[in-house]
Amino acid sequence: MAEKKVSLGKEFTKGLIKENPVLRLVLGTCPTLAVSTSIVNALGMGVSAMIVLICSNIVISLLRKIIPSKVRIPVYIVIIASFVTIVQMLVKAFVPALDAALGVYLPLIVVNCIILGRAEAFAGKHAVIASAVDGVGMGVGFTLALCCMAAIREVLGAGTFLAGAQDLLVLFGDNVLGGFNGFTLIKEGSALSPMTVFILAPGGFFTFGLLMACANRIAESRGKPKAELKGCEACPMAGSCSIRADGGACEDGKEEASA
Amino acid sequence: MVNGKKLYVSASPHLRSTVTTRRIMLDVILALVPALIASAVLFGPRTLMVTAVSVATAILSEFAARKIMKRNMTIGDLSAIVTGMLVAFNLPATIPLWIAAVGSFFAIVVVKQFFGGIGQNFANPAIVARIVLLLSFGAQMTNWVEPFSWKTTPVTGATPLAQLAAGETPSASLLQMFLGEHGGCLGETCAAALLLGGLYLLMRRVISPIIPCSYIGTVAVLMLIKGHGDLQFVAYELLSGGLLLGAIFMATDYSTSPLNSKARLIFGIGCGLLTCLMRLFASMAEGVSFAILIMNLLVPYLERMTAPKPFGTPKKEKKEKKEAAQA
């Protein structure tokens, strides 16, 4: 595993659209669909996962020469789980409302494919700083995707925007920003009523599909080859694919690079 | 012998059918007109307004979507009008007009155009629109009014299906049920008008009888078992809810129903089975739309399961089995 030279700027920006973990790599779908019913939840989830991702990327990258490759997955999981436990305790202590809202999805960050995927595909092969930057980029991409989905779902499905903002603002003290707790766009009893389906699972999938199409469109318009046509060339994981690095292709019978 | 001028060589097809999408859609629209008239008589002129809004939104959405996606214009094939009418037929007469518009928009843009337009959609647009609206606006979507009450003050009432689900005999007589004098969505109540439209489509060979017959037949048989042979119960079940509308106009949609007869038979039976299961055991009174949607999703598998054997080819499976036995 020779270390490639990487440009830090590129490592950061690739996570935003081109290799956006949710919309382009389709990782971490479960928390994405479950948590993106309100922007506040999405933001909390995104930031928590980002912290875990950055920390685990750094530690795994530091230990990458020590970890035997045969047991690397259990080792990664242990590292990730430690950070998730820390983050969960912090969230419980400082933003308890968020902990209640996210419920089981907070501890489930342990098995979030994005974090394990980045450990496997990037942090295990790259130097510390590059891995940290990759974590930041992927984390921001995850948070952005979650927030975009949540914005659409919350506005259409509940008729509110940033509802429950105090849950997060409690970090900075009581009644910050004059007790701002979100806008109610569709008032109760008005002629319009929110489309509840967008808060439910089907609406989550609709929004997910829509945003994926948009992300593909943007990524392709920037000269990325079309996803269906070019095989490995078009795979968003191509840059860090170990099968490809060995000169093989993952198409014969196997799925795309594992995550 | 062969004169050069008379020998005409061209690629197949050599005979073209005169049937066009436009003609089929026109037939479906004509077949829907009796039900539209019946709804206007039963639930008042507001139903025409709802239908107009729904159709207009469908056409506008189709126009806008095709323009924005830079695809060729398909408004001329009239399929948007059919979708708009079917969406409206699935709404109660009291529905706020903007909800009808949302439904049509959703049907055309999300279900149809996002997947490539006419012939490419995986599920019936009107069915999905109905389900989305039902999940989104539960209260408005189940606000039924009694027929003819629009002349004085609209009175809300239970649908026969809800009464059946509660174990009561519906307040409408069987003749009233047949003529549509009961609460329900605006296009689904008048069985006579729907059957008239269905007969017209059958005569024009726009639809094949397999799906509607197997669908309605399955429901009849299962309800006969459930009612311990009570024919009146069966008749009420068949005439209430969206069964006829669904079986005749929605389950037979070309792009979302199977092509060959065997698959069509399974498709119809599956729809009937799911409808009965939902009517009898689910928390909702009606299951037609969900049944058709689920079967829509299964169509590719049904097609693959029942793919006909090309003429003259050996029977593959038996041969393989024999070889396996020999080995």
Q: B205-256 pLDDT, tens per residue?
A: 889 999 999 999 999 999 999 888 888 888 888 888 889 999 999 999 888 8
Average pLDDT, chain A: 82
CA nearest to A112, candidates A54, A51, A29, A208: A29
Residue that wins the pLDDT comparison between A93 and B310:
A93
Which range of B69-78, B141-150, B263-272 scores highest in mean pLDDT? It is B263-272
Give the 3-state secondary structure of residue B156: strand
**Given CA atoms A148, A149, A152, A155 in this order, what sign does their dihedral have?**
negative
Do residue B136 and residue A202 have CB atoms under 8 angstroms apart?
Answer: no
CA dihedral B27, B28, B31, B33 (to 10 degrees): -110
Note the pLDDT of residue A242. 64
**Average pLDDT, stretch A54-62?**
94
Q: Is A171 on the interface with B (CB under 8 A)?
A: no
Query: Measured between CA atoms, how close is B114 to chain A, in angstroms?
Result: 9
Residue in the structure block whose two tokens are 């009961």: B182
Report if pTM > 0.90: no
Q: Is A186 on the interface with B (CB under 8 A)?
A: no
Note the pLDDT of residue A235. 65
Query: Measured between CA atoms, how close is A212 to chain B, in angstroms?
Result: 13
Residue that wins the pLDDT comparison between A251 and B33:
B33
Q: Is A151 on the interface with B (CB under 8 A)?
A: no
Question: pLDDT per residue over A107-118, tens digit each?
Answer: 999 888 889 988
Amino acid (one-letter) located at B210: I
Neighbours of A39 (CB within 10 A): 26
Chain A partners within 8 Å of B135 (Cβ): 196-197, 200, 202
**Mind giving me the DSSP string for chain A?**
-PPPP--HHHHHHTTTTTT-TTTTS--SHHHHHHHTTSHHHHHHHHHHHHHHHHHHHHHHHHTTTTS-GGGHHHHHHHHHHHHHHHHHHHHHHH-HHHHHHHGGGTGGGGG-HHHHHHIIIIITTS-HHHHHHHHHHHHHHHHHHHHHHHHHHHHHHHSEESTTTHHHHGGG-TTGGGG---EESS-TTSS----GGGTSHHHHHHHHHHHHHHHHHHHHHTTPPPTTTSGGGG-TTGGG-HHHHTT--S-SS--SS--
Chain B partners within 8 Å of A198 (Cβ): 136
CA nearest to B61, candidates A34, B69, A21, B221: B69
Residue that wins the pLDDT comparison between B142 and B289:
B289
Q: Mutate which of A196, A199, A208, A216 to disrupt the B interface (most B C-beta within 10 Å)?
A: A196
Chain A partners within 8 Å of B110 (Cβ): 206
Question: pLDDT per residue over A175-198, tens digit each?
Answer: 667 667 777 777 776 777 888 888
**Average pLDDT, stretch B8-17?**
78
Residue that wins the pLDDT comparison between B183 and A132:
A132
> Which CATH number describes the domain made up of B21-306?
1.10.3430
Query: Measured between CA atoms, how close is A249 to chain B, in angstroms?
Result: 30
Note the pLDDT of residue B5. 66
Which 8-state DSSP code applies to residue B35? H
Note the pLDDT of residue B34. 92
Note the pLDDT of residue B293. 93
Chain A with chain B: Cβ pairs closer than 8 A? 24
- Expressed in angstroms, the distance from the first to the final Cα of chain A is 18
Picking from B114, B135, B137, the nearest residue to A193 by CB comes out as B137
pLDDT at A203 > cutoff 70 = yes
Chain B partners within 8 Å of A206 (Cβ): 110
**Average pLDDT, stretch A48-60?**
94
pLDDT at A4 > cutoff 70 = no
pLDDT at B14 > cutoff 70 = yes
- How large a percentage of chain A has pLDDT more than 90? 31
Note the pLDDT of residue B230. 85
- How large a percentage of chain B has pLDDT more than 90? 44
Distance from chain centroid for Cα B315: 37
pLDDT at A251 > cutoff 80 = no
pLDDT at A42 > cutoff 90 = yes
For residues A247 and B74, what is the distance between their CA atoms, to the nearest angstrom? 47
**Average pLDDT, stretch B272-281?**
92
